[in-house]
Amino acid sequence: MEVKALACELPATTGIPLSRWSTAEIARHVRAAGIAATLSDKTVWRWLNQDAIRPWQHRTWIFPRDPQFVTKAGRILDLYQRGWEGEPLRSDEFVISADEKTSIQARRRRHPTLPSLPGYPMKVEHEYGRCGAWAYLAAMDVHRAKFFGRCERRSGIVSFDRLVDQVMSQPPYDEARRVFWIVDNGSSHRGPKSIERLTGKYPRLVLVHGPVHASWLNQIEIYFSILQRKALTPNDFPSLAAVQERILGFQHHYESIAAPFEWKFTRHDLNDLIAKVPLEVTPSGTRAA
């Protein structure tokens, strides 16, 4: 029990200059502290494994610090379930997830990329020359798996508004009862001013901001991850034009085979998640344990 308790503390609390424990370091500290005269690394591992305690592993996370985290996240989760303010969405109401993927570089390798051969993987030259970068602005209809996108030299209000125009000017969105746009808090669509700007041009558009540091709630990020893995890695392009051709070509290809993402995280799951992280609003407006 003492060994397990020790493994559940940061090494710094015991005065050990380590960032995280290993089984060998735990066994060494236990012997030096006189908790046990003899103790092997394998025994420590076996004891900890009984309760799935793995102090040698770590992962990063972002503490939810938006005072309205549950409210904002809940609205997005309701939209994924085709609901809004307690009412189901109609057939002529649509949900769009949108964001920007910035700094997509064109890296021209100094030697040609070689395809894979039996026993050998693809070979990509380490050195490259930079040929510029795109900002890829994209939107997806989450219930129809319909994708829209454009490459811009830079992101910003003007570029994002062009994406909105691209979507809202074509059917069925141009005649929809309401079109909900789920976005993060990026500078091109942040706060009340962005709502005023976009709804002034498109009265049927409803801009829905997610909580701060909660991009995982925005389904377009899933598509960006697929794009990165399938079309942009490894990065070997002779020009910016080649990058644009690849991005828009993949967008068309993916749309032809895609189905709506099977989103399973609901309000119930959100409440369970928040219950595991007790939060309170601090005077600064952020949240802390």
Residues whose CB is less than 8 angstroms from the CB of residue 35 and which lie 6 or more positions away in sequence, other chains included: 2, 3
pLDDT tens, 63-78?
777 889 999 999 999 9
Once rounded to an integer, what is the mean pLDDT over residues 126-132? 95
- Please, how many CA atoms are within 13 Å of residue 69, restricted to the half-sphere of its CB? 25
pLDDT of residue 281: 40
pLDDT tens, 183-202?
999 999 999 999 999 999 99
- pTM reported for the whole predicted model: 0.83
Distance separating alpha carbons of residues 57 and 31, to the nearest angstrom = 23
Crossing angle of helices 41-50 and 23-32, rounded to 10° = 110
Collapsing DSSP to helix, strand or coil, 54 comes out as coil
Does the pLDDT of residue 285 top 60, yes or no? no
What Cα–Cα distance (Å) separates residue 136 from each residue in 28, 102, 230, 248, 257?
52, 6, 15, 9, 21
Give residue 210's pLDDT band: very low, low, confident or very high (50, 70, 90).
very high
pLDDT tens, 36-65?
999 999 999 999 999 999 999 998 877 777
pLDDT of residue 278: 57
CB neighbour burial string for 54-71, b if at least 16 within 10 angstroms, e if fewer: ebeeeeeeeebbbbebbe
pLDDT tens, 221-230?
999 999 999 9
pLDDT of residue 66: 84
pLDDT of residue 282: 41
User: CATH assignment of 69-268?
Assistant: 3.30.420.10
Which range among 83-97, 122-136, 271-285 shows the weakest confidence by mean pLDDT?
271-285
Does the pLDDT of residue 151 top 80, yes or no? yes
CB neighbour burial string for 221-250, b if at least 16 within 10 angstroms, e if fewer: eebbeebeeeebeeebbeebeebbebbeeb
Once rounded to an integer, what is the mean pLDDT over residues 210-219? 92
Does the pLDDT of residue 94 top 50, yes or no? yes
Residue count of the chain, please give it. Answer: 289
Does the pLDDT of residue 280 top 50, yes or no? no
- 136 neighbors 104 (Cβ within 8 angstroms): yes
- Write out the two tokens for 62: 């972002």
Average pLDDT, the chain: 93
Peptide bond into 278 cis (omega under 30): no
Question: Domain limits of the chain?
Answer: 2-50, 69-268
Distance separating alpha carbons of residues 156 and 197, to the nearest angstrom = 14
pLDDT of residue 286: 42
Residue 203's DSSP bridge partners are: none
